[in-house]
Structure 1
Amino acid sequence: MKENRERILKIRDLNISFKTTGGKVHAVRGVNLDLYKGETIAIVGESGSGKSVTTKAVMGLLANNGSIDSGSIEYHWNDEYTGEPKTVDICQLSEKELQSEIRGRKIAMVFQDPMTSLNPTMTIGKQIMEPMMYHYKKSKQEAYAKALELLELVGITDAKKRMKNYPHQLSGGMRQRIVIAIALSCDPYVLICDEPTTALDVTIQAKILELIQDIQKKKELSVIYITHDLGVVAKVADYVNVMYAGKIVETGTIDEIFYDPRHPYTWGLLSSMPDLDTDDDELYTIPGTPPNLAHEVKGDAFAPRNEFALNIDLREDPPMFKVPDSDSHQVASWLMHPNAPKVDMPEALRKRLDKMKQKGEPNHDGSTTHLGS
């Protein structure tokens, strides 16, 4: 763990709900999250677990029927002129302040499908130049020169020609590179990547992940990855937050989550990863389905799907327990209580993790990994 880490984002007790025709949906329930300068955190979990909603709240991009019921999202930075440390609670900002100070300028987002992020009626060049001209009042000539630099940075060849292209004239991988260039156009401190490679084939996916890592090192960006793909997590993350039913149920370093997982849900996620070396004929699946968050969740939300559930799981929601001998590893499970019966992870998963450890995976330094490939 690095010394003197500089915190850039601090989320505390975040609760978000949505008004729907079926009632109020409690999509995010008491999330705590920290992001430090130059580091990468991953938020993983099934669809509907609250991953994207949490990060859209950071951007101030919740849908009209969504609301932050309680909690704070503190953004920390040093003033570019005085060097003085500053803090702002994003939850308290107006739409105008979010638009002018946060979105694109300090925190930028790369979405899952580049075709929904790009304007089909505008040239690529204009879309990259526009944020710079809006936020920093750059002239057309300055914005054009910076746009060419960005296109080269994200690996687009013949940049001058591409500036005149429209999105439909480019491949999926090139469009995603353009979206990354737009996200970087105002030199943000935080980059949020929401399933940035889901719509791409495996070879392009690897190139996009390497590209984001290279840019992160050059610009000392802090990155948040939202994904359900643990193979992606293994390649990129320093820290992992496992989300289930709107809550973070386990958090720790990449090695702690992959080699020493403690929550039964994390066991299920790791067991359900594709593995070329397995002797099993079938891929493991977690039984049951996530709860309907339009109804009140009593006790531990994962209890109905958890074969190791205790009686207390049906009555009380577990707090975060600190894993002994670790400053970073925490688990929201009653199995971590000192008086709980000792339950070990499934033997098949233990063997798989031991095999991964022998191979030196996960190796998120940008080298090749077999996870999820």
Structure 2
Amino acid sequence: MSQREKILEIRDLNISFKTGNKNVKAIRGVNLDLYKGETIAIVGESGSGKSVTTKAIMGILAKNGSIDSGSINYTWHDEKTGEKITKDIVKMSEKEIQTEIRGRKIAMVFQDPMTSLNPTMTIGKQIMEPMMYHYGTSKEEAFKKAVKLLEEVGITDPEARMKNYPHQLSGGMRQRVVIAIALSCDPYVLICDEPTTALDVTIQAKILELIQDIQKKKGISVIYITHDLGVVAKVADFVNVMYAGKIVEKGLIDEIFYDPRHPYTWGLLSAMPDLDTDDDELYTIPGSPPNLTQEIVGDAFAPRNLYALNIDKRLDPPMFKVEGSNTHEVASWLMHPKAPHVEMPESLKKRINKMKKEGAINA
């Protein structure tokens, strides 16, 4: 296997938001690595910190948000000299991020295309604009490239579509346009924030295939943010499971789906809809996520964890490496050598065996 090239490295990232007289600790010590050409997924319930993490990468945190500590190191090769450059996005000014990073090196596809597109501008103009802004591309050249991009994202009669406004397109087509805009400056990293949530299932599958095809052709790295483990199974190489602003389990896709170790991951997998199940009701994780305006003592998941130990109420668990793996890590005291042995629920074991038989991952 050739040497993997690290393109993005997040270390000990802590982010908080001021709301009224309270401070919400939204991100608590996140560590994340992304390599060239690979896909990572960040999964977890709403409010777990998935989108905040990626907005920090793009430098688009809300005005009441601040990065309290940590680094987001982004590495690329200079277009002219080929020299390797690493910069910490946290230390860059808004102007530097806007001219060097956002859209140009790292682009983002949001969940709802209507909030990303300008309703008063033709889609052609919206695809051309980033190229003209970042690279000084001529109008004629930008027009040609925009038509080609529309073709690449599967829009028929692209030249005619250049004159359309967003409201004249279907939801699926609008999402394709958003992807074309994101790709217009040939970014190295594409962040997809729930890119198929607003679409029906058949269009959803086509959009996921489209992103994978583009990734193979262009060799870009992709970060998926989703709460849908079905999507993760189709697209990801690595998975990061987030809970209450922290990554609680990370590993290769097979490790997370076939050998999950954190009780929260067990809950997420158990809650996946399954048409062939004998159960009348869909599993839900008991309780609700913690209030992040209050200081969390111990493991944030402890109040919802059926397998919580006494230590969980006092100390936040570190990341434990899973024996025999260089990639699988779990933030749970159950992984401590002295912890009692706990088996995953029988119903989840059955489900995992079934997934193995069906080859559910990346099929």
SS at structure 2 position matched to 1:284: coil
Q: Deviations over 1:171-214 (max 9, x none)?
A: 00000000000000000000000000000000000000000000
For 1:82, give the aligned amino acid.
Answer: T
Aligned to 1:136: 135
Q: 1:149 corresponds to which letter in structure 2? A: K
Q: Which AA in structure 1 matches 2:92?
A: L
Q: How does 1:194-273 map to 2 (within 5 A)?
A: 194-273=193-272
CA distance in 2, matches of 1:150, 1:259: 38
**Where does residue 292 of structure 1 map in the other structure?**
291
| CA shift digits 1:137-156 (9 cap, x unpaired) | 01100000000000000000
d(CA) in 2 for partners of 1:355 and 1:118?
Answer: 42
Q: Distance in 2 between matches of 1:129 and 1:84?
A: 28
Structure 1 distance, partners of 2:343, 2:80, is 54
One-letter amino acid of the structure 2 residue matched with residue 319 of structure 1: P
- Say if 1:287 and 1:305, in contact at 8 Å, map to a contact too: yes
Amino acid at match of 2:260: P
Deviation at 1:22, TM superposition (A): 5.1
Q: Aligned with 2:291: secondary structure?
A: coil
Q: Which residue of the partner structure matches residue 304 of structure 1?
A: 303
Shift of 1:84: 1.2
Distance in 1 (alpha carbons) for counterparts of 2:299 and 2:312: 5
Q: Which runs of 5+ in 2 are unaligned?
A: none
SS at structure 1 position matched to 2:251: strand
Query: Are 1:86 and 2:85 an aligned pair?
Result: yes
Aligned residue type for 1:282: E
Q: Which amino acid aligns with 2:203?
A: I
Alignment of 1:81-230 (within 5 A): 81-230=80-229
CA distance in 2: counterparts of 1:359 and 1:49, whole angstroms? 30
The Cα of 1:224 is off from its aligned counterpart by 0.0
Q: Per-residue displacement from partner, 1:249-286 (whole Å, max 9, x unpaired)?
A: 00000000000000000000000000112111110000
Range with greater deviation from structure 2 (165-174 or 272-281)? 272-281
Q: Is the 8 A contact 1:239 1:252 kept in 2?
A: yes
Matches of 1:361 and 1:336 in 2, distance apart? 27
Distance 1:160 1:136 in 2: 22
In the superposition, the TM-score normalised over structure 2's length comes to 0.99
Q: CA deviation at 1:3?
A: 3.7
Q: Give secondary structure in 2 for the equivalent of 1:74.
A: strand
**Following the alignment from structure 1 to structure 2, what is the Cα–Cα distance between the partners of residues 159 and 233?**
30
- Hey, what does 1:370 align to over in structure 2? none
Measure the CA separation in 1 of the matches of 2:78 and 2:118: 33
Equivalent residue number for residue 67 of structure 2: 68
TM-score, structure 1 normalization = 0.97
In the alignment, does 2:284 pair up with 1:282?
no
Distance in 2 between residues matched to 1:211 and 1:261, nearest whole Å: 29
Match of 1:324 in 2: 323
1:357-368 alignment to 2 at 5 Å?
Answer: 357-362=356-361, 364=362, 367=363
Q: Distance in 2 between matches of 1:361 and 1:206?
A: 15
Query: Is the counterpart of residue 14 in structure 1 residue 52 in structure 2?
Result: no
- Following superposition, the deviation at residue 80 of structure 1 comes to 1.3
The letter of the residue matching 1:37 is K
CA distance in 2, matches of 1:104, 1:301: 35
Structure 1 runs of 4+ aligned residues shifted over 6 Å read none
5+ residue gaps in structure 1? Answer: 368-373
CA distance in 1, matches of 2:15, 2:357: 42
- The separation in 1 between residues aligned to 2:46 and 2:281, in whole angstroms, is 22
C-alpha distance in 2, partners of 1:116/1:163? 19
1:76-124 superposed Cα distances (whole Å, 9 cap, x missing partner): 1111111111100000010100110000000000000000000000000
Supply the AA of the counterpart residue of 2:327. S
- Deviations along 1:43-65, one digit per CA (max 9) or x if unpaired, are 00000000000000000000000
CA distance in 2, matches of 1:287, 1:46: 13
- What is the deviation of 1:361? 1.6
Provide the C-alpha distance between the structure 2 equivalents of 1:351 and 1:77, rounded to a whole number of angstroms.
44
Identical pairs, percent = 80
CA–CA separation in structure 1 for the residues paired with 2:115 and 2:350: 42
Once the two structures are superposed, what CA deviation does each residue of 1:211-256 show, in whole Å capped at 9, x if it has no partner? Answer: 0000000000100000000000000000000000000000000000
Which residues in structure 2 correspond to 1:39-78 (within 5 Å)? 39-78=38-77
2: CA distance, partners of 1:22 / 1:174: 43
In 1, Cα distance between equivalents of 2:195 and 2:115: 12
- Structure 2 CA distance, aligned partners of 1:281 and 1:159? 47
Separation in 1, partners of 2:118, 2:28: 34
* 1:22/1:294 contact within 8 Å kept: no
Give the counterpart letter for 1:100 in structure 2.
Answer: T
